[in-house]
Structure 1
Amino acid sequence: MPDAKSNEPARQRIVRVPGSRRARLTPAPDTDPSPDVVTNPARTRKPHGDAGPNDARLRDDVPPHY
């Protein structure tokens, strides 16, 4: 699709973000800029039949280096 100002095709543009070290790009032509939402089925909670008294706490604990 040609740009209205010239014969060059439409392209992404670089946009400066005030107060940020990084610039961002505008969405590419003819694309959907909304993010894809992907769910990870391995991270969903499943009931455990043989659960001990502190199994839920052990699964939810985060190591201190996180």
Structure 2
Amino acid sequence: MPDEKSPEPARQRIVRVPGSRRARLTPAPDTDPSPDVVTNPAREKRTVDDRGPNDARLRDDVPPHY
């Protein structure tokens, strides 16, 4: 058994970036390196009509420490 060499599994490699304090990793094998674009409907800009009944009061209230 010690004479047999098993092929090394594919792995990510560390790549040094010149002028940078951090290194980066190469993409993992069998993965898609392009980023997923996830849209969060809660973070979309709201219009004035989308405001709730308490929004005006919450914006006008001043905390007691001011």
* Superposition deviation, residue 47 in structure 1: 2.9
Aligned match of 1:63: none
- Ranges in structure 2 where 5+ consecutive residues have no aligned partner: 1-5, 60-66
Task: Using structure 1 for the length normalisation, give the TM-score.
Answer: 0.59
- Ranges in structure 1 where 5+ consecutive residues have no aligned partner: 1-5, 59-66
Note closer, same or farther for the CA distance 1:24–1:48 as it changes in structure 2 (3 Å cut).
same
Task: Using structure 2 for the length normalisation, give the TM-score.
Answer: 0.59
Note closer, same or farther for the CA distance 1:8–1:50 as it changes in structure 2 (3 Å cut).
closer
Q: Percent identity?
A: 79
Relative to total residues, which structure has the larger helix share, 1 or 2? 2
* Letter paired with 1:45: K
What is the Cα-based RMSD across aligned positions, in Å? 2.6
Count of aligned pairs: 48
